[in-house]
């Protein structure tokens, strides 16, 4: 199912699978290799704060100079911007769209604290998310925060 804004897709039927193949073909043409993606495995307990808190954007990247992928959020409250200073973002997602996407992706899945979510990201390419065998992709924000 592709959402009405055409910013995310949850793979549900054969048409979605065909579209997924087209997207992966485009990625391979653009970067020469689909394996450029970085992977972030996170439990639902860790991800839940980014879904429930009023973040404006969700960022995927690194803390300081480490090679370990992390997730962080940015929010604005009364004109003050709250973000993690030692975080370097590689990909930025609109938090509101991500919440809608994740809700559809996990529809009919009993989410437990230890449920593992696999997130694959790379710069401005679609972000792929897998939960309990269901797969979906969401487009990153074009402009950085």
52 located within any domain: yes
84 located within any domain: no
pLDDT in tens, 114-129: 999 999 999 999 999 9
Percent of the chain residues past pLDDT 70, beyond the cut: 97
15 located within any domain: yes
3 located within any domain: no
85 located within any domain: no
125 located within any domain: yes
Domain boundaries, position 49 = 8-59+90-138
pLDDT at 136: 95
pLDDT in tens, 44-88: 999 999 999 889 999 999 988 788 899 999 998 888 889 888 899
34 located within any domain: yes
Give me the long-range contacts of 116-120 (CB less than 8 A, separation at least 24): 116/41, 116/42, 116/43, 116/44, 117/41, 117/42, 117/43, 117/44, 117/47, 118/39, 118/40, 118/41, 119/39, 119/40, 119/41, 119/42, 119/60, 119/71, 120/37, 120/38, 120/39, 120/40
109 located within any domain: yes
Structurally, the chain folds into a number of domains equal to 1
């Amino acid at each position: 199912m592709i959402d009405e804004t055409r910013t995310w897709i949850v793979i549900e039927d054969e048409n979605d699978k065909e579209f997924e193949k087209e997207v992966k073909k485009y990625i391979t043409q653009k970067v020469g290799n689909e394996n450029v993606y970085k992977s972030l495995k996170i439990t639902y307990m860790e991800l839940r704060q980014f879904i429930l808190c009023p973040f404006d954007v969700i960022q995927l990247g690194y803390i300081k100079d480490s090679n370990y992928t992390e997730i962080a959020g940015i929010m604005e409250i009364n004109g003050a911007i709250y973000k993690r200073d030692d975080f370097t973002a590689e990909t930025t997602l609109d938090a509101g769209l991500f919440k809608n996407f994740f809700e559809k992706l996990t529809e009919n899945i009993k989410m437990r604290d230890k449920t593992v979510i696999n997130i694959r990201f790379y710069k401005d390419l679609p972000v792929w998310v897998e939960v309990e065998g269901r797969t979906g992709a969401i487009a990153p924000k074009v402009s950085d925060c």
